Amino acid sequence: MPATDPSAVELSLVVPIFNEEESVGPLIARIEEAMAGIAYRWELILVDDGSTDATLANARSAIGRPGLDLQVVALQRNFGQTAAMQAGITQARGRLIATLDGDLQNDPRDIPEMVKELERRELDLLVGWRKNRQDGLVLRKIPSWIANRLIGRITGVRLHDYGCSLKIYRGSVIKQVRLMGEMHRFIPAWVAGVVPSSRIGEMPVTHHARQHGTSKYGISRTFRVILDLLSVMFFMRFKARPGHFFGSLGLALGALAGLILAYLFVDKFIMGNNIGTRPLFLVGIMLFLSSMQLITTGILAEMLARTYYRDENSLSYIVRDVFSGEHPNS
């Protein structure tokens, strides 16, 4: 790590947690063990995403532990992993930010090596690759493999494992990206919107089988990924100019409608044929109406985009409380 003010936080560890009452205690212990002996100052931010069990109480019980700079951010209700991750990133003070899951499947011992690798390769984002993944084949591995290939092909950012939560970011870069909806699995694609894809890399990491609780994901996630991917593709290419997307489709349909109606005009008024009962006449009318609808939708989308850019400071979560204990690491 480069030399900095020793009082400044160099690394923030952000962990979203939801109904992980059995995992949160061992998780904190593993993080402390993994970060023991680190020469720079680090902090741990646990974001409780509206848990309904003892997760929040167990997390708060670690505040004040010697040598542990811990913040516990409690969201008002369950907003989802993406919003919880965004809340932690917003709260983070570190020059670098690491994210990982709270279910003990990611190994915190990989973090120091990932930090070194990110600095050595001068990257802005280093993504963990669960090369030896400890998950079910049908419900987790196969859908994940298909999703990773599909995401890489569409976004142009080719990684082996988009879904791994263990990632290291430069804080100045990830704070330029707004995470909304369920878009956490597409973070590398969003980051590629603000930095060159050459500054995004990956590194094999350890993956453990879940020890406590139940998985929050199932086969239905595959369908949500496809829908989210369409949104990502749209935002990456047309976020600032949605009118071009809808307008292009509208003009194409309008041109086709014009050709059909021009042909029918000639057929009716020059050739003298009856066109009132011909299906082609109805097709031409419907294409023309669809064209007008798409063009007006594009205009409305442009207006919404301008409103969005004026109101980019709106948040996708509500923080109820922030609990912290200042214990600088050395």
Whether residue 84 sits in one domain with residue 226: yes
Residues 77 and 208 in one domain: yes
Could you say which of 187, 207, 238 is where a domain stops?
Answer: 238
Residue 212 belongs to a domain: yes
Tens of pLDDT, residues 104-139: 889 999 999 999 999 999 999 999 988 877 555 555
| Residue 5 within any structural domain of the chain | no
Query: For residue 26, which amino acid is it?
Result: P
In a domain, 3, yes or no: no
Does 319 reside within a domain?
no
Q: Is residue 193 part of a domain?
A: yes
157 and 282 together in one domain: no
Question: Per the structure, how many domains does the chain have?
Answer: 2
Q: Domain range for residue 267?
A: 242-309
Q: Do residues 254 and 233 share a domain?
A: no
- Structural domain contains residue 71: yes
List pLDDT tens digits, range 133-166: 755 555 556 666 777 777 777 777 888 888 788 9
Are 35 and 103 members of one domain?
yes
Q: Are residues 229 and 261 in the same domain?
A: no
> Same domain for 121 and 264?
no
Same domain, 41 and 86: yes
- Kindly indicate the confidence band of residue 169, based on its pLDDT and cuts at 50, 70 and 90: very high
Which pLDDT score, from 0 to 100, does residue 174 have? Answer: 94
Residues for the chain: how many in total? 330
pTM: 0.74
Looking at the structure, do residues 203 and 262 belong to the same domain, yes or no? no
Dist CA 224 CA 242 (whole Å): 22
Whether residues 209 and 246 share a domain: the answer is: no
The residue among 238, 265, 283 that closes a domain is 238
- Per-residue pLDDT of 31-48, as tens digits, reads 999 999 899 999 999 999
73: which strand partners?
A: 47, 322
How far apart, in whole angstroms, are the C-alpha atoms of residue 298 and residue 192? 25
Of the pLDDT bands very low, low, confident and very high (cuts 50, 70, 90), residue 168 is very high
Give the pLDDT band (50/70/90) at residue 93: very high
Asked if residue 259 and residue 182 are part of one domain, the reply reads no
Q: Domain boundary at 221, 238, 255, which? A: 238
Instruction: Report yes or no on 49 lying in a domain.
Output: yes
User: Which CATH number characterizes residue 74's domain?
Assistant: 3.90.550.10
Q: State the average pLDDT over residues 52-69.
A: 94
Indicate whether 6 belongs to any domain: no
* Domain match, 233 and 249 both: no
pLDDT for 4 equals 54
